[in-house]
Amino acid sequence: MRHSIYLDFNATTPIAPAVAEAMRSVIDGPFGNPSSDHWAGHAAKEALETARAQIAGLLRCEPADVVLTSGGTEANNLAIKGVVFAHGAPAHIVTTAVEHPAVLNVCRFLERYGATVTVVRVDGFGRVDPDDVRRAITPATVLVSVMAANNEVGTLQPVAEIARLVAELDGVVLHTDAAQAIGKTPMTVDDLGVALLSIAGHKLYAPKGVGALFVSRGVALEPLLHGAGHEGGRRAGTESVVLAAALGAACRLAEMEPWAERVRPLRDSFWELLHGAFGGRVMLNGHPTERLPNTLNVSFAGCSGNALLRAMPEVAASCGSACHSGSETPSPVLTAMGVPPDLARGAIRFSLGRTTTAEEIDWVVRRLREVVPS
- Signed CA dihedral, 68, 90, 170, 175: sign only: positive
Q: Residue 1: is its pLDDT beyond 50? A: no
Q: Which of 228, 256, 284 is the last residue of a domain?
A: 256
Same structural domain for residues 340 and 266? yes
Residues 70-117: tens digit of each pLDDT: 999 999 999 999 999 999 888 999 999 999 999 999 999 999 999 999
Are residue 244 and residue 263 in the same domain, yes or no?
no
pLDDT at 207 over 60: yes
Q: What is the pLDDT of residue 50?
A: 97
| Beta-carbon count within 10 A of 353 CB | 18
Count up the domains in the chain and report the number.
2
User: What pLDDT was estimated at residue 327?
Assistant: 55
Domain shared by 236 and 302, yes or no: no
d(CA 118, CA 302): 34
The DSSP H or E segment spanning 62 is none
Q: Output the domain CATH number for residue 249.
A: 3.40.640.10
Asked if residue 112 and residue 30 are part of one domain, the reply reads yes
Q: Which domain holds residue 68?
A: 17-256
pLDDT over 90 (residue 325): no
Cα distance between residue 292 and residue 185, in whole Å? 7
What is the reported pLDDT for 329? Answer: 82
- Average confidence score pLDDT of the chain: 95
Q: Is the pLDDT of residue 324 over 70?
A: no
Could you give the percent of the chain with pLDDT greater than 90? 94
pLDDT class for 163, splitting at 50, 70, 90?
A: very high
Q: Annotated active-site positions, please?
A: 323
Shared domain for 326 and 288, answered yes or no, is yes
Whether residues 276 and 240 share a domain: the answer is: no
Residues 246-277: pLDDT tens digits? 999 999 999 999 999 899 999 999 999 999 99
What pLDDT does residue 323 have? 44
Beta-strand pair 211-215/196-200: antiparallel
**Do residue 153 and residue 215 come from a single domain?**
yes
- Confidence class of residue 2 from pLDDT cuts 50, 70 and 90? low
Please tell me whether residues 339 and 193 are part of one structural domain: no
| Residue 374's pLDDT band (cuts 50, 70, 90) | confident
Measure the CA–CA gap between 323 and 360, rounded to whole angstroms.
Answer: 25
CA torsion 261→266→267→271, rounded to 10°? 150
What are the pLDDT digits (tens) for 29-67? Answer: 999 999 999 999 999 999 999 999 999 999 999 999 999
Instruction: Identify the domain boundary among 256, 279, 299.
Output: 256
For residue 231, which of 27, 69, 42, 85 has the smallest C-alpha distance?
A: 69
pLDDT of residue 330: 87
Q: Do residues 186 and 302 both lie within one domain?
A: no
CB 131 within 8 A of CB 161: no
Long-range contacts of 363-368 (CB under 8 A, 24+ apart): 363/2, 363/5, 364/5, 364/7, 364/270, 364/312, 364/315, 365/270, 365/273, 365/274, 365/277, 367/312, 367/314, 367/315, 368/274, 368/277, 368/278, 368/308, 368/312
Q: What is the mean pLDDT of residues 222-243?
A: 95
Q: Are residues 96 and 158 in the same domain?
A: yes
Question: 58-71: b or e for each residue (b if 16 or more CB lie within 10 Å)?
Answer: bbebeeebbbbbbb
- Which CATH number covers residue 298? 3.90.1150.10
Same domain, 118 and 165: yes
Same domain, 69 and 153: yes
Cα 14–18–21 angle (5° rounding)? 100
Q: Of 229, 256, 283, which residue sits at a domain end?
A: 256
